[in-house]
Every structure is written in C-alpha cells, then in structure tokens.
Amino acid sequence: MSKYKLFLLRHGEGAWNKENRFCSWVDQKLSENGVVEAQECGRLLKEQGYQFDRVFTSILSRSIQTAWLVLEAMGQEWVPVTKSWRINERHYGALISLNRAEMALNHGEEQVKLWRRSYDITPPPITESHPYYAEIYNDRRYSTCDVPKEELPKAESLKEVLDRLLPYWNDVIVPVIKSGQTVLISAHGNSCRALLKHLEGISETDIVNVTLPTGVPVLLELDEDLRPVKPRQLLGDQAKIEAAIKKVEDQGKTFGVMSRAGPPSFVPISLR
Ligand SMILES: O=C(OP(=O)(O)O)[C@H](O)COP(=O)(O)O
C-alpha cells in the first residue's frame, strides 16, 4: 500500500540544454522556455492538489530557480528549501561545455551514449587547463560543502553520483519522508536517474534506457520501507512527455550538427 509520495523533478530547460552542451557543474540559469516549464509544472501540481512540506535542491542555480518557480506557482513559497552539492548534476569532467552532436560526429553516437547513459563509465576528468575549471572550483559555494574542495569530484559515472548522493538521501531526506512530510527534490537529469535506479532497483543495463525530460514532475508512491508500490508516473500530457524524452535522447545524435552552418568546432578529448 502507498504510504508516502515523493516527487523528483529535473529542472526546467537551462541555457545549455538549449545549446545542446554538457552543462553539469557550470552554473547556467534557466532559459526563457525553462522558466515557463517550471511555472507550468507548478500550475499542474497545484491543479492536481499536491502540497509540499519540504523541498531539496542542488547548489546549482537552475535547480534552485526551478524550485522557487514551482513553489510560487503553487502559492507555497514558504515551504523550507534545503540545498546540497550531493544533489548536483553528475560531474561530466572534461566533457563539460562540449556540444553533444559535435561529440557524436567526432567520437560516434555509441560512445556519446555510453558517456551519457552507462552506469559505471566515468568520462575523462576535468583538468586545470579546462576553460570552466576555475569558474567551478573557485566558486565560493564549493567551499561550503561537507567535504574539502580538493575531494570534490573531477568527473563522475552515474555510479559515482549515487555513491555521493546516497549518504545524503539516507541521513537527511529519508528521515524527513518517514516523518510523513511530502518532499520535492528539484534536481537534475542524472542525479534523478541515480536516485530512481536506487529506489526502483533498476539494473545497470536497464538504467541506460531511462531518460528524463526537463520540467516534468515524477511521482513515486512508496511503501513504509520506501519501496515503490507502482510504476513511476511522469505527470502531464503523455504525448508531449514522450516527445520531450525523444528530444533529450536525440541530443547525442549527429543530425543536430549536420544542419548547422559552418564546420563543427571539435575539441579533442582523450578517451583514456
Ligand atoms: O547538465 C546536465 O543535466 P541537467 O540539464 O539535468 O542539469 C547534463 O549536461 C545532462 O546531460 P545528459 O542528458 O547528456 O546526461
């Protein structure tokens, strides 16, 4: 029997979702469309009568902004919001800022799919020469984490995301849910996938096929041991949701870059 409801949300579209670049730990804001997606998500949740007691976000602006917009649209701005780097998007290492379609042209669609969706493949790490290294690691927010800055990841597989997320889930979020509070986790494509893998017991093979669109709330109904009692529900117009999932999957295909004017700007990436 369903005892708890938990909502997972990949933030609304960010500026780099639109440009098809790996955003990850770069702190991009929502695009105009992303703002609308978050507001529509809040309106839908309000229409369906849901109420939150507690919200968790990453320390990346796009997940925080999304939480605010959702709560505003629901008239629940007062609900406490707690932030942690442990809910951050997967650290995409040296792939950060690169265009997925260009990467597919350069390295093949299969390789890009492995980098994006496999469970235990870690992309090449970010190094100090990377154009976004200083912007990420000099940011004051990363001095406030529960691990020293030097121990923060330089690249992560989905497995490594789960490894850093689980202690926070178990120690902080689970007690809140078990106290009877309805929780929204406003997070990212891959931090939500990692949590779904854990909660639903998805295999390492099957997690490859799980893709989440932006701005679509995922409702999980859980029993007293936080095991799902029914399949996850992606709330909203199902045809639109299917189309949005396909759009995210297609970001790793070459046709995006073939239609652009001019040659693609390749950045060589070592695969070792
Ligand atoms: O920043 C990202 O995710 P987010 O938009 O959910 O924060 C990643 O670039 C998502 O990339 P992916 O869909 O290739 O895993």
Query: What single string gives the DSSP state of each residue in 195-247?
Result: HHHHHHT--TTGGGG----TT-EEEEEE-TTS-BSS--EE-S-HHHHHHHHHH
Amino acid identity of residue 35, one-letter, is: V
Q: Is 217 in the pocket of ligand 1 (CB under 6 A)?
A: no
Closest listed residue to residue 154, CA positions, set 109, 224, 93: 93
Q: Is 13 in the pocket of ligand 1 (CB under 6 A)?
A: no
pLDDT digits 0-9 by tens, 137-154: 999 999 999 999 999 999
Ligand 1 center to 246 CA (angstroms)? 14
Q: Is 215 in the pocket of ligand 1 (CB under 6 A)?
A: no
Is residue 46's pLDDT more than 50? yes
- How far is the CA of 112 from the CAs of 27, 157, 204, in angstroms? 22, 13, 17
Q: Whole-angstrom Cα distance, residue 265 to residue 272?
A: 21
Which of 18, 23, 112 best tests ligand 1's pocket when mutated (most atoms within 8 Å of CB)?
A: 23
Q: Taking a C-beta distance cutoff of 8 angstroms, is the pair 242, 216 a contact?
A: no
Band of residue 18 on the pLDDT scale cut at 50, 70, 90? confident
Amino acid identity of residue 160, one-letter, is: E
User: What share of the chain in percent tops pLDDT 90?
Assistant: 92
Catalytically active residues, by annotation: 11, 89
Q: Whole-angstrom Cα distance, residue 119 to residue 233?
A: 23
Q: Is 21 in the pocket of ligand 1 (CB under 6 A)?
A: no
Q: Is 166 in the pocket of ligand 1 (CB under 6 A)?
A: no
pLDDT digits 0-9 by tens, 165-224: 999 999 999 999 999 999 999 999 999 999 999 999 999 999 999 999 999 999 999 999
- How far is the CA of 36 from the CAs of 43, 143, 257, in angstroms? 10, 32, 27
Is residue 230's pLDDT more than 80? yes
CATH class of domain segment(s) 4-258: alpha beta
Q: Is 23 in the pocket of ligand 1 (CB under 6 A)?
A: yes
pLDDT digits 0-9 by tens, 112-139: 999 999 999 999 999 999 999 999 999 9
- How far is the CA of 122 from the CAs of 64, 94, 111, 141, in angstroms? 26, 10, 12, 24
Determine which residue's CA is closest to atom 7 belonging to ligand 1: 188
Determine which residue's CA is closest to atom 14 belonging to ligand 1: 116
Ligand 1 center to 193 CA (angstroms)? 11
Band of residue 269 on the pLDDT scale cut at 50, 70, 90? low
Q: Whole-angstrom Cα distance, residue 94 to residue 98?
A: 8
Ligand 1 center to 250 CA (angstroms)? 13
> Atom of ligand 1 at shortest distance to CA of 63?
7
Determine which residue's CA is closest to atom 15 belonging to ligand 1: 116
Q: Whole-angstrom Cα distance, residue 22 to residue 36?
A: 22
Q: Is 169 in the pocket of ligand 1 (CB under 6 A)?
A: no
Which of 21, 22, 29 best tests ligand 1's pocket when mutated (most atoms within 8 Å of CB)?
A: 22
**DSSP per-residue string spanning 96-127:** TT-BHHHHHHHH-HHHHHHHHH-SSPPPPPP-
Only one residue has tokens 């009877």, namely: 180
Q: How many residues does the chain have?
A: 272
